[in-house]
Structures are given as structure tokens and as C-alpha cells.
């Protein structure tokens, strides 16, 4: 592998992915704007023109904002890599670590580099998140968070990130340096163990840091949900209502955790919008994902892809051309593991972008299966009316560009979902 060849391949992939993203979003904006004037015939009786136009305006506003963010992110990525940003940060971190006691220099330098890189990335993202939350979401009446809560969330997120993220990063960096040529296998094992731990403790330890969870008190709904779960052969350790309305008007329901720690969580926003039988249908859809083992399959896929990723990193980290081709000079007298890790995380998604349509395709197939399960265990009509209400409340467009939807949509467009639900 020659550095120049890698530089060219990376630049070409970045240009191609940016152009494709730009093309898709422009299509989406044009298509949605062109269909703004009229509610599609299939929804004429159930969706008002006002709601349809709000959805169109919301989609266009978000997509236009997305175009700006797209250009910005491509420039930042180019800045980190080929234009030498990470290389400059690396020299600085190396220099700064010389102030540490000698035994700490190697790890101190590497953790410092990762920490400053992550911090810089968050700062670059911050204005975009503020604008998205307090301008766009606000303008369409979805935002419920305040600046105070926004920054409190950020501080908590940072604390959780440092407390949980730093030890695992340090451990992986240590393995990279100390575990020999098969370090990537050990690192993969550590990373998987860490992910499983997060999945187990997320519902009971992490999520409560950000939201309040209270047992479901609506007895009629509780009875309905418990009957559904018994019918489907599920046990959960509790039914909870989460105060999602503190931050956003968007509604949701999920089933989280593993084994005995499993719990059903309803956003309070969902319960205020849907009636009992609609909530039951939405939950039946979530249970469908479990019944069809979609969650397990996704976890297994994630394990397999991580293994391939670590194996690839194990090889790339040995190649000087990997660093040079992405705009960084490998260190001669310090470990290169943190540098390799960051470059890999920067460049990987650029190449990985091109499998998006494949992932979207399989995700939509899973959604259809879960819908079919919900239709069998609860009611297709209730799920349809729930989906329509949620769609309208989230101002989802009913007229997405077909190519855009094929490429990105993890859930089938509303028209296709409702058609499939009514088909039996």
C-alpha cells in the first residue's frame, strides 16, 4: 500500500460520499416541496392539509440544515486528515506529555490525544446541535428542553463518557501495546464485554441519570399490556413511564435490557397521544422485534463487524502508509496506537457509508416483520392509526423522495407500512 494511493482513495471516497449525500438530500427537498400542495389521496380522509404542510416544511427545514452540516463535516474531516489537523494535535500532545513522569508518558500522551480529539469534536458539533434544538425543533413546536437542561445533559454525558469511556479506551490502548500481534483479538473481546455490560446496566444505571422512570399506574393499560405480554410469551421486570416530555414532544416506546433486567418503557408523550389499544399495538410491534430475534441478530452482526474492524485495524496500524496516507506522521519514539485508532474511526465511516442502503433495506424488512407480528397479536387497524398519529405528531413527511427513502429510511415510508398493515 502506498501513502499516495490511500490519500487518493480516501479523497475519492469522501468526495463521492459527500456528493451522493448532497444529491439525495436535494432530491428529498425538491420532492417534498413539490408535493406540499396536496395531501396524498390515500391519506385524504385522515391527514389535514395543515398537518401535511407542516410535515413538508419541517422535512425541508431539516434537510436544508443537513446540507450545511454535510459540507461542514466534510471540511472538518478533510481538516483532521489530509490537511494535517490531527498531525498537529498529535505533535502537541506528544510535546505536552513530556512534562509527565517518564513511566506515564506513553499512556498519558495517548489518552491526552484521544481526550482532546473527542473534546474538539464535541465543540465543533455544539453550535449545530444548539441550532437544531433551539431553532428548528423550537420553530416546529417540538423542543421542550431549556438551555440549562441542554447543558446539564451535556455535562452528565461528558461525565459518563469520561467515567466509562476512558477506562475502556485506556485498556484497549494498553492491549494494543502489550498483548502482542494478536492484540486485536483481545481488544475485540474487551470491547464486546464492555458493550454487553453497557446493555445490562443501561436501563437501571445510565438511563435514570437523564430521565425519571415511574411505574405505569394506569391500571387498565397495565392489564392490557400484561395480557399482551402473556399472550406473546414475554416476561418483563416492570412497566415504566419515562418523562420524555422534559426534552421533546416526540413520542416512543421501547423494550430494553437483557434477561431478567428487561423492562418496558413508554414515553409519557406516547401515552398522552395514543389510546389503550393503540399503545398495545405499538408494544406488540416492539415484541415482534424480539420474537423474530432482530435484536439478537443485530447484536451478533455488531460483534462480527467489530471483529472484522479490529482485525483490519490490527493490520493497518502496522503500515506506515496508513498514517502517511491519511495526513499523519507516525511517531518514532512513542506508541502509535491512539493515532491509529483515531485515524481508523475518521476514515472508516467514509468507506462504510456505501453500505447504508443495504443496512436500510434489512432494517425495513425487520420493520415489516414486526408490523405483521403486531397485526397477528394485537390489531393492524390500531397499529395503523397509532402510526399515523405518531407520524403526524413527529411531522414525518408522507411524500418522501423514493430514492432517498430507499437509501436512508430504516423504517418503511408510512404509505408502504399502512398498505402492508391493511393488506390482510
Rg (CA), the chain: 24
Q: Looking at residues 364 to 393 of the shown chain, list those that interact with Zn ion (rule: CB under 5 A).
A: 367, 370
CB of 371 to Zn ion, least distance (A): 8
By beta-carbon proximity to Zn ion, the closer residue of 160 and 232 is 232
371 a catalytic residue: yes
CB of 319 to Zn ion, least distance (A): 41
286 a catalytic residue: yes
CB of 55 to Zn ion, least distance (A): 20
By beta-carbon proximity to Zn ion, the closer residue of 366 and 392 is 366
Side by side, the strands of the sheet bearing 213-215 are 213-215, 239-242, 263-267, 253-256
For residue 128, the number of C-alpha atoms closer than 13 Å in the C-beta half-sphere is 16
Q: Looking at residues 172 to 191 of the shown chain, list those that interact with Zn ion (rule: CB under 5 A).
A: none
By beta-carbon proximity to Zn ion, the closer residue of 21 and 391 is 391
83-122 footprint of Zn ion as x/- string (CB under 5 A): ----------------------------------------
- How many residues lie near Zn ion (CB under 5 A)? 2
CB of 234 to Zn ion, least distance (A): 16
Burial label for 38, CB within 10 Å (0-12, 13-18, 19+), is exposed
Active-site residue, from 371, 382, 392, 401? 371
By beta-carbon proximity to Zn ion, the closer residue of 21 and 411 is 411
CB of 294 to Zn ion, least distance (A): 8
Containing H/E element for 63?
helix 49-80
By beta-carbon proximity to Zn ion, the closer residue of 14 and 370 is 370
Stretch that binds Zn ion, among 24-32, 66-74, 111-119, 360-368 (CB under 5 A): 360-368
Q: Is 384 within 8 Å of 16 (Cβ atoms)?
A: no
Q: At 157, is the secondary structure helix, strand, or coil?
A: helix
CA 240 – CA 235 distance, rounded (Å)? 14
Which of 70, 90, 57, 54 shows the shortest CA–CA distance to 17?
70
CA 63 – CA 77 distance, rounded (Å)? 20
Taking the CB of residue 177, how many other CB atoms lie within 10 A of it? 16
Interaction site with Zn ion (CB under 5 A): 367, 370
Task: List residues with catalytic annotation.
Answer: 286, 371
Amino acid at each position: 500500500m502506498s501513502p499516495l494511493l490511500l490519500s487518493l482513495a480516501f479523497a475519492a471516497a469522501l468526495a463521492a460520499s459527500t456528493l451522493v449525500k448532497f444529491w439525495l438530500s436535494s432530491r428529498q427537498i425538491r420532492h417534498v416541496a413539490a408535493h406540499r400542495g396536496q395531501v396524498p389521496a390515500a391519506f385524504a380522509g385522515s391527514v389535514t392539509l395543515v398537518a401535511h404542510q407542516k410535515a413538508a416544511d419541517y422535512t425541508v427545514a431539516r434537510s436544508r440544515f443537513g446540507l450545511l452540516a454535510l459540507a461542514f463535516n466534510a471540511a472538518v474531516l478533510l481538516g483532521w486528515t489530509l490537511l494535517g489537523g490531527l498531525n498537529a494535535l498529535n505533535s502537541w500532545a506528544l510535546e505536552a506529555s513530556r512534562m509527565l513522569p517518564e513511566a506515564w508518558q506513553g499512556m498519558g500522551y495517548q489518552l491526552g490525544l484521544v481526550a482532546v480529539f473527542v473534546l474538539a469534536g464535541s465543540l465543533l458539533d455544539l453550535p449545530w446541535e444548539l441550532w437544531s434544538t433551539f431553532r428548528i425543533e423550537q420553530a416546529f413546536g417540538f423542543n421542550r428542553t431549556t438551555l440549562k437542561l441542554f447543558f446539564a445533559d451535556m455535562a452528565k454525558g461528558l461525565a459518563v463518557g469520561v467515567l466509562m469511556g476512558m477506562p475502556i479506551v485506556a485498556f484497549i490502548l494498553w492491549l494494543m501495546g502489550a498483548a502482542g500481534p494478536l492484540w486485536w483479538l483481545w481488544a475485540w473481546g474487551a470491547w464486546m464485554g464492555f458493550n454487553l455490560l453497557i446493555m445490562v446496566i443501561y436501563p437501571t444505571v445510565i438511563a435514570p441519570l437523564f430521565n425519571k422512570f415511574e411505574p405505569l399506574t394506569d391500571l387498565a393499560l397495565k392489564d392490557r399490556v400484561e395480557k399482551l405480554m402473556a399472550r406473546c410469551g414475554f416476561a418483563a421486570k416492570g412497566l415504566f413511564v419515562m418523562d420524555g416530555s422534559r426534552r421533546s414532544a416526540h413520542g416512543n416506546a421501547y423494550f430494553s435490557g437483557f434477561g431478567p433486567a428487561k423492562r418496558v418503557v413508554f414515553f409519557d408523550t406516547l401515552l398522552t397521544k395514543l389510546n389503550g389499544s393503540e399503545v398495545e399495538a405499538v408494544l406488540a410491534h416492539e415484541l415482534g422485534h424480539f420474537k423474530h430475534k432482530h435484536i439478537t441478530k443485530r447484536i451478533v452482526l455488531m460483534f462480527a463487524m467489530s471483529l472484522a474492524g479490529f482485525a483490519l485495524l490490527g493490520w493497518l496500524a502496522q503500515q506506515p502508509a496508513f498514517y502517511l496516507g491519511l495526513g499523519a506522521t507516525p511517531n518514532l519514539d512513542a506508541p502509535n496506537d491512539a493515532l491509529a485508532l483515531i485515524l481508523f474511526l475518521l476514515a472508516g465511516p467514509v468507506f462504510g457509508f456505501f453500505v447504508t442502503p443495504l443496512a436500510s433495506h434489512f432494517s425495513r424488512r425487520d420493520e415489516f416483520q414486526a408490523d405483521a407480528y403486531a397485526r397477528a397479536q394485537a390489531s393492524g387497524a390500531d397499529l395503523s392509526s397509532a402510526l399515523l398519529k405518531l407520524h403526524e405528531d413527529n411531522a414525518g413527511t408522507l411524500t418522501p423522495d423514493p430514492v432517498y427513502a430507499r437509501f436512508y429510511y430504516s423504517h418503511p415510508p408510512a404509505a408502504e407500512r399502512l398498505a402492508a398493515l391493511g393488506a390482510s
